[in-house]
Amino acid sequence: MKIICQKDILQKGVNIVSKAVPSKTTMPILECILLDASEGQIKLTANDMELGIETKINGEIEDPGKVALDAKIFSEIVRRLPDNDVTIETDNNFNTLITCEKAKFNIPGKEGSDFAYLPEIEKDHYISLSQFTLKEIIRQTIFSIADNENNRMMSGELIEINGSELRIVSLDGHRISIRKVELKDDYGQMKVVVPGKTLGEVAKILSGDAESEVLMFFTKNHVLFEFDDTTVVSRLIEGEYFKINQMLSGDYETKVQINKRELASCIDRATLLVKESDKKPIIMNVLDELMELKLVSSIGSLNEEILITKSGKDIMIGFNPKFLMDALRVIDDEEVTLYMVNPKAPCFIKDKKESYIYLILPVNFIA
Amino acid sequence: MKIICQKDILQKGVNIVSKAVPSKTTMPILECILLDASEGQIKLTANDMELGIETKINGEIEDPGKVALDAKIFSEIVRRLPDNDVTIETDNNFNTLITCEKAKFNIPGKEGSDFAYLPEIEKDHYISLSQFTLKEIIRQTIFSIADNENNRMMSGELIEINGSELRIVSLDGHRISIRKVELKDDYGQMKVVVPGKTLGEVAKILSGDAESEVLMFFTKNHVLFEFDDTTVVSRLIEGEYFKINQMLSGDYETKVQINKRELASCIDRATLLVKESDKKPIIMNVLDELMELKLVSSIGSLNEEILITKSGKDIMIGFNPKFLMDALRVIDDEEVTLYMVNPKAPCFIKDKKESYIYLILPVNFIA
């Protein structure tokens, strides 16, 4: 194989596919990036068997062929090359010479045929949305997946299509995050659970451009994302997602409108008094026109007051400050509305259209 | 005690003195910042018994007094307060109320009288130089102190005054870094060894302003830095520094002029092939008008060529690439000159005026 391409193009491609290189694996071939120039175009591929990414890059093929190169070494090399044309050439033993200006790297490669290619995916069911929207709704929900492996379903996010409405849901047993967006077309009914890791990596690769589209194809076991010159294929999490609709009742006893920045700053201050080992709640005392906030820990105490607009009953309720903070951080509105029933029942933060719903369970506290 | 001061001024002061708070100590009082408003001005102090920092801040004293507050908690609190006036008030038990707008923090404090004040320093011997110069010469030499505690002398830097010339020296057994600067006055003869940690922290606090001065006072056991509203006192390292002058012979067999950026980029590339565990040298083959560079490791190999201007003999010599890189990084010249004798003797990188001298020992290699 012998190919020539520009350093910046090569680097961009390597960065994209590197997201699918496993940090730990018992199969050394998975730690590689496959360079495939055997079929008239240059493709880079990485695949950890759950998540696979392929991207095409522009370049010249002088001698068709393919080679698998250690992803970490190869990307380090590419990153430090001068900003010029890079020539990559392999011999019959897959020893690979990478030349750029007067720098010549020599590293061992592996036979490409050992490589695990991306699975073939049927392209029957799909949706289309903008890169911006997909990147945003992932960011706005991914923080509340559970990262432990005890409950595989909680480590994924539900993506549900209902006509032209897309709903994305994550939950970890203490809270639920939901975002809804309107799609341009009616795509019927679909429901899949995508691994959080896949969504996180896809969000990193997406340009976030509002004008560029992503196509998402769904099969029984896989989801495929197609955008720019890149294809991402991931396994789905099998099984039935949690029934969340019954938890989303619209009843409330107390409704509070509060300035988001003020609330977030207060929680941020309170958090510094919380040590990992003793999780102290932030206690909200909701009165007419005023919310008193309080956190007491072994380090010290914080008391603060914020002006609010309230309707309904007074309530005193405690929360894990981190859960409130996570939700507030991804809400763009200047003012947020909290709906509460009692100190044992979940609190909802949502807008009128319910384009976002953040449900947070309160915690017990001693007043 | 009751004081009022602006958040940004308080934060700046806290950041400065925090540099002298030890990360580990058996004396809890040393983990504190002392707020002293007992003598008509507000002073913040921290002291780890080797390095002490004191800074004055503007503010209003409503009730004179002092209190010692946990440095970590206090600085976290100050950082997250709104940008407004901060009131700090202690009761008889040193419980401290920190108020800013509607936020009220309550943390325990300690009696100030337990605190280790800075030692009194005689101000007989001193030099004056610009903050910019001091910050620069520290940065340009501090990387080659030894960070192990086996040789205390190597963990410091020699500061030597000879009339109006200041020389700063660091060495770690493999290399020596020297910077010389001309002072505005003749200050006679002085020679002290200042702990590297002290210099590192001082460099962080210095504004780096070329118009602002630093005064350095020397006694037998201490050095004191005075600049802006801040005083830094540090113990000196006692004993005789290494005799380096005899190592700085001017003889050479090969002189090479080379573009600094090209050499640094090549070494940077070579370094990615070096694992912590197997330290491989970069081998320079100096020919007429050309330097061949080569590094071979278990990961792969790099070969590169750089055009040079050479006088004297050809030479093949190997170096720890990190040591070359460290020196090149702090040299501002576009072109550097290397002086070499043979593959076993130190290489010098220096300018004509010898405002900088970087001596690096070569390493053995198999060609």
Instruction: Report pLDDT digits (tens) over B2-15.
Output: 999 999 999 999 99
In the block, residue with structure tokens 């003598």: B39
pLDDT higher than 90, residue A365: no
pLDDT higher than 90, residue A115: no
Over residues A212-217, the mean pLDDT reads 97
Residue B14: how many CB atoms within 10 A of its CB?
Answer: 23
Contacts of A110 in chain B (CB under 8 A): none
Which tens digit of pLDDT belongs to each residue from A224-237? 999 999 999 999 99
Give chain A's mean pLDDT: 95
Specify whether the CB–CB gap between B362 and B317 falls below 8 A: yes
The pLDDT assigned to B97 comes to: 98
pLDDT higher than 90, residue A23: no
CATH class (in words) of the domain with range A2-114: alpha beta
Which tens digit of pLDDT belongs to each residue from B82-111? 999 999 999 999 999 999 999 999 999 999
B105 vs A80, A105, A300: nearest CB: A300
Domain B125-244 has CATH 3.10.150.10: yes
pLDDT higher than 80, residue A276: no
Q: What is the distance of C-alpha B314 from the center of its chain? A: 37
Question: Which of the residue ranges A115-124, B47-56, B235-244 would you say has the lowest mean pLDDT?
Answer: A115-124
CA–CA min distance B120, chain A (Å): 34
Contacts of B293 in chain A (CB under 8 A): none
* Per-residue DSSP letter, B274: -
B300 vs A106, A265, A301: nearest CB: A106
Which tens digit of pLDDT belongs to each residue from B115-145? 888 899 999 999 999 999 999 999 999 999 9
Q: Which two tokens stand for residue B287?
A: 């020919």
Over residues B76-81, the mean pLDDT reads 97
Over residues A181-187, the mean pLDDT reads 96
B215-251 burial: b if 16+ Cβ within 10 Å, else e: ebbbbeebbbbbbbbbbbbbbbbeeebbebeeeeeee
Spatial distance between the Cα atoms of A60 and A87, rounded to a whole number of angstroms: 9
Q: Which two tokens stand for residue A367?
A: 């007043």
The pLDDT assigned to B131 comes to: 97
Which tens digit of pLDDT belongs to each residue from A82-113? 999 999 999 999 999 999 999 999 999 999 88
Spans of all domains in chain A: 2-114, 125-242, 248-360
Q: Which of B268, B299, B301 to mutate to test the interface with A (most CBs of A within 10 A)?
A: B299
The pLDDT assigned to A50 comes to: 92
Q: Which of B269, B275, B291, B294 to mutate to test the interface with A (most CBs of A within 10 A)?
A: B269
The pLDDT assigned to B200 comes to: 97
Contacts of B77 in chain A (CB under 8 A): 269, 272
* Interface contact A303, partner B, CB < 8 A: yes
pLDDT higher than 70, residue B18: yes
The reply to whether residue B272 touches residue A108, judged by beta carbons under 8 angstroms, is no
* Interface contact A93, partner B, CB < 8 A: no
The pLDDT assigned to B295 comes to: 97
> Which band of pLDDT confidence, cut at 50, 70 and 90, is reported for residue B303?
very high
pLDDT higher than 80, residue A278: no
User: Residue A96's closest chain B neighbor by CA?
Assistant: B300
Over residues B165-178, the mean pLDDT reads 97
3-state secondary structure of A244: coil
> Which band of pLDDT confidence, cut at 50, 70 and 90, is reported for residue A275?
confident
Over residues B289-302, the mean pLDDT reads 96
The pLDDT assigned to B175 comes to: 97
> Which band of pLDDT confidence, cut at 50, 70 and 90, is reported for residue B367?
low
Residue A26: how many CB atoms within 10 A of its CB?
Answer: 6
CA–CA min distance B99, chain A (Å): 10
User: What strands, in cross-sheet order, belong to the sheet with B32-36?
Assistant: B66-70, B32-36, B42-47, B51-57, B230-235, B222-227, B213-218, B125-130
The reply to whether residue B304 touches residue A102, judged by beta carbons under 8 angstroms, is yes
* Interface contact A77, partner B, CB < 8 A: yes
**Residue B65 Rama label (left phi>0; alpha psi -120 to 50; beta):** left
Over residues B254-258, the mean pLDDT reads 98
CATH topology (fold) of A248-360: DNA Polymerase III; Chain A, domain 2 (3.10.150)
Torsion over CA: A198, A204, A207, A209 (sign)? positive
A302 vs B105, B268, B302: nearest CB: B105
pLDDT higher than 70, residue A27: yes
B107 vs A300, A304, A305: nearest CB: A300
Contacts of B106 in chain A (CB under 8 A): 300-303
Q: What percent of chain B has pLDDT over 70?
A: 100
> Which band of pLDDT confidence, cut at 50, 70 and 90, is reported for residue B354?
very high
Give the closest residue to B1 by CA, choosing from B58, B60, B71. B60
pLDDT higher than 70, residue A367: no
Same fold: A2-114 with A248-360: yes
The pLDDT assigned to A185 comes to: 96
Over residues B208-236, the mean pLDDT reads 96
Domain A125-242 has CATH 3.40.50.970: no
pLDDT higher than 80, residue A78: yes
* Interface contact A306, partner B, CB < 8 A: yes
The pLDDT assigned to B278 comes to: 77
pLDDT higher than 80, residue B148: no
CA–CA min distance A106, chain B (Å): 5
Question: Which of the residue ranges B28-32, B285-289, B328-332 would you say has the lowest mean pLDDT?
Answer: B28-32
B106 vs A81, A102, A301: nearest CB: A301
Give the closest residue to B182 by CA, choosing from B234, B137, B227, B230. B137
The reply to whether residue B301 touches residue A105, judged by beta carbons under 8 angstroms, is yes
Spatial distance between the Cα atoms of A129 and A214, rounded to a whole number of angstroms: 6
More confident residue, B294 or A246: B294
User: Residue B100's closest chain A neighbor by CA?
Assistant: A304
Contacts of A73 in chain B (CB under 8 A): 272-273, 299-300
CA–CA min distance A298, chain B (Å): 9
Q: Please count the helices (runs of H) and the strands (runs of E) in chain B.
A: 6, 25
Spatial distance between the Cα atoms of A321 and A276, rounded to a whole number of angstroms: 12
Contacts of A91 in chain B (CB under 8 A): none
Spatial distance between the Cα atoms of A121 and A32, rounded to a whole number of angstroms: 23
Over residues B277-295, the mean pLDDT reads 94
A104 vs B77, B80, B302: nearest CB: B302
A302 vs B104, B272, B302: nearest CB: B104
Over residues A143-165, the mean pLDDT reads 93
pLDDT higher than 80, residue B277: no
The pLDDT assigned to B23 comes to: 86
